[in-house]
A and B are shown apart, each in its own frame.
Chain A
Amino acid sequence: MLTNKEIDALTNEERGAWIDAMSADERMILYTAPGYLYSMVNASIIKRLLTQKLTTGDQLELLETLGKRVDRYFTAAALAAIEPICDTGYQIFREARKADKTEDGIESMMLLSSWEVFHRPVVLNPSLMLAIRLCRRMD
């Protein structure tokens, strides 16, 4: 598994060879926009939060946030396929949030959707891969 730094250091030829050697799933992840990858991780985190005891207001707010993620690419079917994130995945998310310098969370988004980091939540939560497949209408 290449790290983000190693990927940045690749030449065009090396990068081409690396992509050619990828599996179909890996290529799907690579060709999905980072914003969508982050939305998928975020949806799994929100689903985890919804398993806890909340006020009606919080519950409604979280569900509204989930609903707003859906668009023509990230379909309702893909959202429905995502399972709540596990403890380790949630810990990865919390660690990534520490990189944020501002409240908009752009640093953590870039980190979580990067090649090196996104693989771990996918391994831990295979429903994310299923959602990517559904988004690309290949499943």
Chain B
Amino acid sequence: MQEAVPQKPKRHRSQKYPATPLVGIIPESELGPAMLGLDERARRFVLELRHGPAGYGSEARAVRAAGYTGNAATLKKRATRLIHDARVQQALREVGYRFIRAAAFQSIRNVEKIANDFEHRDCLKANLALLDRGGFALETVHNVNVTHETKVVVATEKVLERIRILAEQAGIDAKALPPTIDLKAEEVEDADE
């Protein structure tokens, strides 16, 4: 008689983050068009993701905090479906841009802090970054010389003499060369005067 193989105990992962909502009342006047296109819970999901922790379990936490109910598997599915929804993705992008823009000021403060810390190894880099963005970037000068050369040979005595010499060397009688067809400039009076 075969002995029954003992079943492997099922692993229960402990909940990583508490599902306490981080977002309060959402005033519609502050929302962009993508967020306005979502229902209340989806909006909360997006904002919970924005304000909540990042990494493993963050999506499940956001779903729970947004007010969705069900067991762990259901919530996980719900989170996946929401994340892959095109409208939600657009709303995440909309919120993300605002977040980046707002976070930029914090970054400026951080760079400023490093720039003022003379002992910091990136002090020079931070100072250069601030100079660049503050309108004191290193100016480079590119000299591009474009020369448009129009060779106009004027029939001066010197030129005619050169023609005579060259023609003679080539065995051509310079006097037999046909007359040239050079244009002659004439001064024209302005019609208005």
Binding site for B on A (CB under 8 A): 43, 47, 50-57, 59-60, 63-64, 66-67, 70, 76, 79-82
Contact = CB atoms under 8 A, between A and B. Distances in A.
Contact of B166 (A51, A53, A56, A64): A64
B102 interface: no
Q: Which of A51, A63, A66, A79 has the most chain B CB within a 10 Å cutoff?
A: A63
Contacts of B162: 60
Contacts of B154: 56
Which bracket fits the contact residues of B?
Answer: 20 to 34
Given A55-B182, A57-B153, A63-B172, 13 more contacts: A43-B170, A50-B167, A51-B178, A56-B154, A57-B151, A59-B163, A59-B177, A63-B163, A63-B167, A76-B170, A79-B170, A80-B169, A80-B170
Contacts of A82: 171
22 contacts: A43-B170, A53-B180, A54-B178, A55-B180, A55-B182, A56-B160, A56-B180, A56-B182, A57-B151, A57-B152, A57-B153, A59-B177, A60-B166, A63-B166, A63-B167, A64-B166, A66-B170, A67-B166, A67-B169, A67-B170, A76-B170, A80-B169
Contacts of B182: 55-56
A51 B173 CA distance: 11
A47 B170 contact: yes
A55 to B, nearest CB: 5
Nearest to B154: A56
Interface in B170-193: 170-172, 177-182
Nearest to A78: B171
B171 A79 contact: yes
Contacts of A57: 151-153
Contacts of A55: 153, 180-182
Contacts of B181: 53-55
A81 B171 CA distance: 7
Nearest to A76: B169
B152 A50 contact: no
Contacts of B167: 50, 63
Contacts of A80: 169-171
Contacts of A66: 166, 169-170
A45 to B, nearest CB: 13
